[in-house]
């Protein structure tokens, strides 16, 4: 099956609406509200400190105020423990900053900024939240909202599962990197070997150099053929039209002798490429994919069903039944 046919096969077999591998159901609060975990305890202590700070603001000595700010700073930043999920931490974004920015600042600078932010928080949010009743539920709501950022290795684990189901196993210390069939993840454990393979085989990987050293996700060697995979999980459009289009099609624009560059895109945004109601951006992206696939015959652009077909008919070259 050639690369255009495989892309069209992917379009004809769209992504499912929900992929269980990306589900992140971590519970950050306890089922029993009377049994509080450390995050809940720290959040409640911080609310109490802010309430005291509000009530005592005009009667504090400088030393007392500094002590309160220091206690809140320690609760938030000493051992994070997901304290970025608190109502106060989320308010930082309404003040043109965020938890991560403050966390990276030197402590004295951060405490000075925190003093100003807490005063704004008391003025804009704290009294209202007290009237409605503070609840630890906010910790879980924010955690669920951030769950998409905790995908981490879910995509590569999905690829690993497919590869091993097809009998392609991970490289280990006994693998002959010049003769054996294997796959290699380019994560922190496999990055060094991956760079070694690129160097020894003269693979330039210009894509990586143009991405400030970003690594693709998976390297496959099978029957003396080399496949390099960039995985993209897309649930929604992001960024401007041109940047989004470039990000999706960029990997298959590159070509090197005897190398197949593969973009494996899952997530329901893939389905926009096949939809009759696709917006102009999706139609442009689809046309660009086809254009680059025609130009680079060894490259592939697939979704989940297409990736399975790719492994079966291109990598393993099993007969089509």
Cα–Cα distance for residue pair 179/176, rounded to 1 Å: 6
pLDDT greater than 60 at residue 208? yes
Does residue 166 surpass a pLDDT of 50?
Answer: yes
Q: Distance (Å, rounded) from C-alpha 321 to C-alpha 216?
A: 32
* Residue 238 reports pLDDT greater than 90: no
pLDDT at 268 over 80: yes
| Residue ranges of domains in the chain | 3-21+151-315, 38-147
Confidence band (pLDDT; 50, 70, 90) for 219?
A: very high
pTM of the complete model: 0.70
pLDDT, tens digit (0-9, with 9 covering 90-100), for 172-197: 989 999 899 999 999 888 999 999 99
Q: Is the pLDDT of residue 229 over 60?
A: yes
Residues shown for the chain: 321
Across residues 117-137, what is the average pLDDT?
95
Radius of gyration (C-alpha) of the chain in whole angstroms? 25
Segment 78-102 mean pLDDT? 93
Residue that the structure tokens 């008391």 belong to = 122
| Whole-number pLDDT of residue 321 | 44
CA distance linking residue 164 with residue 13, whole number of Å: 22
Using alpha carbons, select from 222, 289, 206, 221 the residue that is nearest to residue 255: 206
pLDDT at 282: 83
Q: What local confidence, expressed as pLDDT, does residue 102 receive?
A: 96
What pLDDT sits at residue 247? 82
pLDDT band at 150 (very low <50, low <70, confident <90, very high): low
The pLDDT of 111-137, averaged and rounded, is 95
At residue 72, φ and ψ (nearest 5 deg) are -65, -40
Q: What is the pLDDT of residue 59?
A: 85
Spatial distance between the Cα atoms of 200 and 113, rounded to a whole number of angstroms: 51
Q: Which range among 69-83, 235-249, 263-277 shows the weakest confidence by mean pLDDT?
A: 235-249
Residue 98's pLDDT is what? Answer: 95
State residue 57's pLDDT score. 76
């Amino acid at each position: 099956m050639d690369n255009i046919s495989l892309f069209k096969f992917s379009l004809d077999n769209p992504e499912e609406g929900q992929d269980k591998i990306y589900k992140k159901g971590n519970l950050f609060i306890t089922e029993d509200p009377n049994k509080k975990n450390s995050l809940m305890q720290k959040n409640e202590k911080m609310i109490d400190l802010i309430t005291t700070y509000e009530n005592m603001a005009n009667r504090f000595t400088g030393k007392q105020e500094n002590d309160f700010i220091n206690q809140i700073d320690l609760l938030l930043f000493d051992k994070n423990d997901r304290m970025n999920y608190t109502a106060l931490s989320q308010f930082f974004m309404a003040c043109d900053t965020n938890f991560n920015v403050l966390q990276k600042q030197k402590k004295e600078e951060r405490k000075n900024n925190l003093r100003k932010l807490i005063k704004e928080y008391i003025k804009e949010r704290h009294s209202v939240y007290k009237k409605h009743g503070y609840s630890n539920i906010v910790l879980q709501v924010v955690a669920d909202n951030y769950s998409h950022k905790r995908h981490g290795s879910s995509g590569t684990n999905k690829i690993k599962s497919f590869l091993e189901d097809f009998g392609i196993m991970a490289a280990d210390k006994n693998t002959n990197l010049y003769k054996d069939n294997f796959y290699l993840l380019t994560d922190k454990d496999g990055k060094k070997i991956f760079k070694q393979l690129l160097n020894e085989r003269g693979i330039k990987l210009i894509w990586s150099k143009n991405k400030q050293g970003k690594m693709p996700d998976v390297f496959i060697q099978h029957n003396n053929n080399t496949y390099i995979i960039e995985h993209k999980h897309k649930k929604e459009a992001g960024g401007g039209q041109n940047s989004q289009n470039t990000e999706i099609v960029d990997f298959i624009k590159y070509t090197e002798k005897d190398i197949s560059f593969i973009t494996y895109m899952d997530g329901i945004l893939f389905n926009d490429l096949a939809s009759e109601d696709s917006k102009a951006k999706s139609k442009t992206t689809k046309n660009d994919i086809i254009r680059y696939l025609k130009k680079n015959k060894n490259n592939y652009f697939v979704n989940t069903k297409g990736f399975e077909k790719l492994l079966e008919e291109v990598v393993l070259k099993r007969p089509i039944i």
